């Protein structure tokens, strides 16, 4: 595995790989790797000749009161994990490397952002899109891999990749979970012991909602209310939202139909957890 | 020469050319070709293996009261000219092909736009950037060619290409002129006979300003005033602006220093003409 720290070197390497007709699989991350990230690497290993992983905690996707500074970082551990799992190129740029100058041109996501996490994180998806426009042009992947845990992120990426005809395949992988069902997240380390113990209830209640749908429930509002009551009763964390929307357009629905997301966010003392399931009706 | 009308076909062709290690030179145009465009083709022929020209009158870069409908179009003539001058691929998509759905994500140029033409054409450069983000991802060029007549456009493109690390060289070519000095433009056909006769004075007075700079004038305001007086006295068209700015940042200057643009726009009955010179001091 080679570690590349500059934009110029990374872009030159990618151009060289492309001229050799090697397909590039790209796994963008903010580091502090867990099995979720590594499942994306595994998928890329199967499909692509060369797997590039980036580790970059992107400042522009954190709000002023968010956890940019406390976001967990451990490069040496990540490097070891990446190498063990067969990453070929680890792109590890500094903030100055990715944001050398003030932007002359801004990217603004105008759809799919006024719901779910976007509602409480204004500008978050502008930051995600901005850094991915940059990273995609640097790494020049054939396939880019994202986990469905961040389903709204995937919907936003799907949107701008179609808008601007990025010559890249968006490959999504299922959420990887702990044995008790809690969705893997770099932020889970910031849960207290008690919070960690109850957190699996989030997924458990999502599965309960799924069962209701499978038994014929189609009323989005009714389903939402039942899920809200069940979840509030089973956790101490504060429910930030429970939403049932069309996917990937993330538009409001009354009746469940087509592809639908049931998404939840719960706020704990130091961390906010998200989870979702996507159903096809 | 082949004519390609769909995004999918064009992108597939470009990917194939790249896998064959052919370099792609791209000349984006709005058609109604003149020697200015053809000089870009000539430059691309010298540098690249394959020359792709696009002809697309981009609706998003025209304001509601601008000349989108009256913008001159003649595809059969353009096709003949492109073929005669050695264009290999003519990309001629419909508006529906380039803008199939409402955008989920918008591009907004925030610098280099509050001066010159940008001041009187709000949103114009957002439209230019939007279509070029799309076209660059469809055509996947190694080199993209633009004429210096649209110097502000070149400054904006230079800005966003650096911001987002587009893996593309920006190649600029000098303004091509009529024998009497008038900058070639597709819009010149909309001048009346009298307007056409006096229009070369714009460039003549720019050359006069250049002489003043060469004789030692460094005061931007003084130079601007002299140029304004000389030009107003020699044409009936209304001067929209005369600006002297640092280039390509397009920031205000008091003293001429480094790379500087002197740019003029003149409004005639049915058309607005622009011209500029860039000096290095």
Tens of pLDDT, residue by residue over B49-92, are 999 999 999 999 999 888 898 888 999 999 999 999 999 999 99
Location of structure tokens 């967990």:
A72
All residues of chain A having their beta carbon less than 8 Å from the beta carbon of residue B19 are 18, 21
Please give the Cα distance from B275 to B37 (Å, whole number).
16
pLDDT tens for residues A80-95?
A: 999 999 999 999 999 9
Active-site residue, from B37, B85, B108, B179? B37
Task: Indicate yes or no: CB of B167 within 8 angstroms of CB of A140.
Answer: yes
Average pLDDT on B165-185 reads 97
Q: What is the pLDDT of residue B204?
A: 98
Q: What is the pLDDT of residue B105?
A: 98
pLDDT tens for residues A26-80?
A: 999 999 999 999 999 999 999 999 999 999 999 999 998 888 988 889 999 999 9
All residues of chain A having their beta carbon less than 8 Å from the beta carbon of residue B133 are 164
pLDDT greater than 90 at residue A120 = no
8 Å CB contact between A32 and A159? no
Instruction: Pick the residue from chain A with its C-alpha nearest to B160.
Output: A105
Q: What is the pLDDT of residue B99?
A: 98
pLDDT tens for residues B132-159?
A: 999 999 999 999 999 999 999 999 999 9
pLDDT band at B120 (very low <50, low <70, confident <90, very high): confident
Q: Is A140 on the interface with B (CB under 8 A)?
A: yes
Which active-site residues of A does the annotation give? 37
Rounded to the nearest angstrom, the minimum Cα separation between A6 and chain B is 12
Q: Is B246 on the interface with A (CB under 8 A)?
A: no
DSSP tag of A268? -
In the three-class reduction of DSSP (H, G, I as helix; E, B as strand; rest coil), residue A123 is classed as: coil
Q: Which residues sit opposite A262 in a β-bridge?
A: A244, A277
Average pLDDT on A132-157 reads 98
All residues of chain B having their beta carbon less than 8 Å from the beta carbon of residue A166 are 137
- Looking at A215-219, A273-277, B16-20, B196-200, which range is the least confident one? B16-20
pLDDT greater than 90 at residue A281 = yes
Of B7, B21, B164, the CB nearest to A137: B164
- Looking at B39-43, B114-118, B239-243, which range is the least confident one? B114-118
Task: Work out the mean pLDDT of chain A and round it to a whole number.
Answer: 96
All residues of chain A having their beta carbon less than 8 Å from the beta carbon of residue B111 are 102-105
Please give the Cα distance from A263 to A221 (Å, whole number).
13
DSSP tag of A85? T
CATH number of the B2-173 domain:
3.40.50.620
Residue A47 — φ and ψ, nearest 5°? -105, -30
Residue B256 — φ and ψ, nearest 5°? -70, 130
Please give the Cα distance from A58 to A95 (Å, whole number).
7
Q: Could you tell me where in chain B the CATH 3.40.50.620 domains are found?
A: 2-173
Annotated catalytic residue B37: yes
Please give the Cα distance from B157 to B176 (Å, whole number).
20
pLDDT greater than 90 at residue B179 = yes
Instruction: Pick the residue from chain B with its C-alpha nearest to A101.
Output: B163
8 Å CB contact between A199 and A239? no
What ipTM does the predicted assembly reach?
A: 0.93
Centroid of chain to Cα B225: 26
Q: Could you tell me where in chain B the CATH 3.30.1300.10 domains are found?
A: 186-280
8 Å CB contact between A244 and A256? yes
The domain defined by A186-280 folds into 3.30.1300
pTM: 0.94
Rounded to the nearest angstrom, the minimum Cα separation between B174 and chain A is 24
Of B104, B105, B110, the CB nearest to A104: B110
Per the structure block, which two tokens stand in for B275? 């011209």
Task: Indicate yes or no: CB of A111 within 8 angstroms of CB of B102.
Answer: yes
Please, what sign has the CA dihedral across residues B70, B71, B72, B78? negative
Q: What is the pLDDT of residue B279?
A: 97
- Looking at A109-118, B63-72, B221-230, which range is the least confident one? B63-72
8 Å CB contact between B162 and A138? no
Please give the Cα distance from A129 to A109 (Å, whole number).
7
Q: Is A7 on the interface with B (CB under 8 A)?
A: yes
**Nearest alpha carbon to residue B91 among B51, B60, B126:** B51
Please give the Cα distance from B193 to B197 (Å, whole number).
6
Q: What is the pLDDT of residue A49?
A: 98
Q: Is A21 on the interface with B (CB under 8 A)?
A: yes
Instruction: Pick the residue from chain A with its C-alpha nearest to B166.
Output: A137
């Amino acid at each position: 595995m080679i570690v590349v720290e500059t934009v110029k070197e990374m872009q030159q390497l990618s151009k060289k790989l492309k001229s050799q007709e090697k397909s590039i699989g790209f796994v963008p991350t903010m580091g502090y790797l867990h099995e979720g990230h590594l499942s994306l690497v595994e998928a890329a290993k199967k499909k692509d000749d060369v797997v590039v992983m980036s580790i970059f905690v992107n400042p522009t996707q954190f709000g002023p009161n968010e956890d940019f500074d406390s976001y967990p970082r451990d490069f040496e551990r990540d490097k070891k994990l990446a190498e063990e799992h067969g990453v070929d190129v680890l792109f590890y740029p500094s903030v100055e490397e990715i944001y050398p100058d003030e932007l002359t041109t801004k990217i603004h996501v105008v759809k799919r952002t006024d719901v779910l996490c976007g509602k409480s994180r204004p500008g978050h998806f502008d930051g995600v899109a901005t850094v991915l426009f940059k990273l995609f042009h640097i790494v020049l992947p054939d396939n880019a891999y994202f986990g469905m845990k961040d389903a709204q992120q995937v919907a936003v990426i799907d949107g701008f990749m179609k808008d601007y005809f990025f010559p890249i395949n968006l490959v999504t992988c299922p959420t990887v979970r702990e044995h008790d069902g809690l969705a893997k997240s770099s932020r889970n380390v910031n849960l207290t012991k008690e919070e960690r113990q109850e957190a699996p209830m989030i997924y458990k209640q999502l599965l309960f909602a799924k069962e209701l749908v499978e038994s014929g429930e189609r009323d989005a509002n009714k389903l939402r209310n039942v899920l809200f009551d069940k979840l509030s009763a089973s956790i101490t964390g504060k429910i930030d939202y429970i939403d049932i929307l069309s996917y990937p357009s993330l538009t409001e629905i009354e009746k469940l139909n087509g592809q639908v997301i049931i998404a939840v966010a719960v706020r704990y003392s130091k961390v906010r957890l998200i989870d979702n399931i996507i159903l096809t009706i």
